[in-house]
Amino acid sequence: MALKDTIQTLLSQVSDIQANNAEELEALRIKYLSKKGEITALFNEFRTVPNEQKRELGQLLNQLRQETEGRINELREQFEAKQAEADKPDLTRTPDPIALGTRHPLSLVREEIEDIFSRIGFTIAQGPEVEDDKHVYGMLNFAPEHPARDMQDTFFIEKEKGVQKPTDVLLRSHTSSVQTRVMTSQKPPIRVLCPGRVYRNEAISARAHCFFHQVEGLYIDKNVSFADLREALLYFSKEMFGPETKIRLRPSYFPFTEPSAEMDISCNICGGKGCSFCKGTGWVEILGCGMVDPNVLEACGIDSKEYSGYAFGMGVERITNLKYRVKDLRLFSENDVRFLRQFESC
């Protein structure tokens, strides 16, 4: 009964058939079930067994073949299921590539200015861009015939279409208008920073634009002196341009401050030695400032005998130019990604 023993030994091993991958499984199929396989060979041997044993051995052989096929199919299904799982898309994966935008250089610089002044107690104040004459000029001690009001400088808003004559409604030409709004709505002590966009009727070129950005500061309290103004501006300049920075105040004139000054910093490109940027002088102008004119305080309802204050105003584009060497003002508003991408790491 050698055939029966062989069949039974194989039968006892069927459930242990193992394969690590589809290739090994195929090798097993060939080993047992192919034309030259072991089980096929047993079928050939079966033909020679005596008739009275055929029934029993035939049943055993069929069982062996079915169980072997069954086990091999079972293993195949397992591999296929595993493969299908591996082929599934990962729905938790983030799509790529994610295009990140960049901060605008003017925003970066404006925030840095805000940050520096917030460390010495300044808070942010906002005001409207569409303003009236009173807040932009009238309360700021501009004489009625002051040239800044001229059509060449200020954009007036026509109330009615086609009406050309100047009206009371205009686009603010400086953020000093926010100061008048703060002074008329708050009581001293006042310590505010007014960042915002301003408009002037100028031809667009590399050095001038019809809109730009300013940050103005206003501090009103008892006994505020010019020395306080100077110290605040020196602190700002060193924080913004480095501890070596020097400042220089030159007498100037603004209708709303008395005395008034323009402030230069030592050129941060050549360190004050003189270069093409500072036109060989070693100094670059960055802001206007002064003590708030008593007329302005009174116009805003603040007692000029009790209170005094200082104000300053700077162009954000100018500071950005000094920090990042942007030579053409137009780059700031053209949305050219080749320019903006340079600020990716800032």
> Closest CB to ligand PHE among 253 and 324?
253
CA 115: distance to chain centroid? 17
Tell me how far, at minimum, the Cβ of 220 lies from ligand PHE, in Å: 13
> Closest CB to ligand PHE among 60 and 329?
329
CB-side neighbour CA atoms (13 Å) of 28: 22
Task: Report the 3 state secondary structure along 36-103.
Answer: CCHHHHHHHHHCCCCHHHHHHHHHHHHHHHHHHHHHHHHHHHHHHHHHHHHHCCCCCCCCCCCCCCCC
Looking at the DSSP bridge assignments, the partners of residue 193 are: 124, 217
**Cα distance between residue 114 and residue 126, in whole Å:** 13
Q: Give residue 10's identity as a one-letter amino acid code.
A: L
Binding to ligand PHE, residues 136-165 (CB under 6 A)? none
- Residue 36 has which token pair? 């030259």
- Single residue of 219, 254, 283, 332 touching ligand PHE by CB under 6 A: 254
- Single residue of 170, 194, 233, 289 touching ligand PHE by CB under 6 A: 289
> Closest CB to ligand PHE among 237 and 257?
257
> Closest CB to ligand PHE among 76 and 134?
134
CB-side neighbour CA atoms (13 Å) of 182: 23
Strand 169-171 and strand 308-315: pairing? unpaired
- Residue 125 has which token pair? 């104040």
What mask, x for binding ligand PHE by CB under 6 A, covers residues 38 to 57?
A: --------------------
**Cα distance between residue 222 and residue 15, in whole Å:** 97
- Characterise 261 by phi-psi region: left (phi > 0), alpha (psi -120 to 50), beta (else): beta
Among 83-91, 108-116, 123-131, 311-319, which window interacts with ligand PHE (CB under 6 A)? Answer: 311-319
What mask, x for binding ligand PHE by CB under 6 A, covers residues 188 to 227?
A: ----------------------------x-----------
**Cα distance between residue 319 and residue 317, in whole Å:** 6
Strand 247-254 and strand 308-315: pairing? unpaired
Q: Is 257 in the site for ligand PHE (CB under 6 A)?
A: yes
**Cα distance between residue 254 and residue 138, in whole Å:** 13
Tell me how far, at minimum, the Cβ of 315 lies from ligand PHE, in Å: 8
Among 47-55, 102-110, 180-188, 288-296, which window interacts with ligand PHE (CB under 6 A)? Answer: 288-296
> Closest CB to ligand PHE among 60 and 289?
289
Q: Is 312 in the site for ligand PHE (CB under 6 A)?
A: yes
> Closest CB to ligand PHE among 65 and 213?
213
Binding to ligand PHE, residues 171-190 (CB under 6 A)? 174, 176
> Closest CB to ligand PHE among 57 and 263?
263
Tell me how far, at minimum, the Cβ of 287 lies from ligand PHE, in Å: 7
Tell me how far, at minimum, the Cβ of 324 lies from ligand PHE, in Å: 22
CA 174: distance to chain centroid? 27
Tell me how far, at minimum, the Cβ of 296 lies from ligand PHE, in Å: 10
**Cα distance between residue 219 and residue 188, in whole Å:** 9
3-class DSSP state of 126:
coil
> Closest CB to ligand PHE among 73 and 152?
152
> Closest CB to ligand PHE among 6 and 252?
252
Which residues form the interface with ligand PHE (CB under 6 A)?
174, 176, 216, 254, 257, 288-290, 311-313
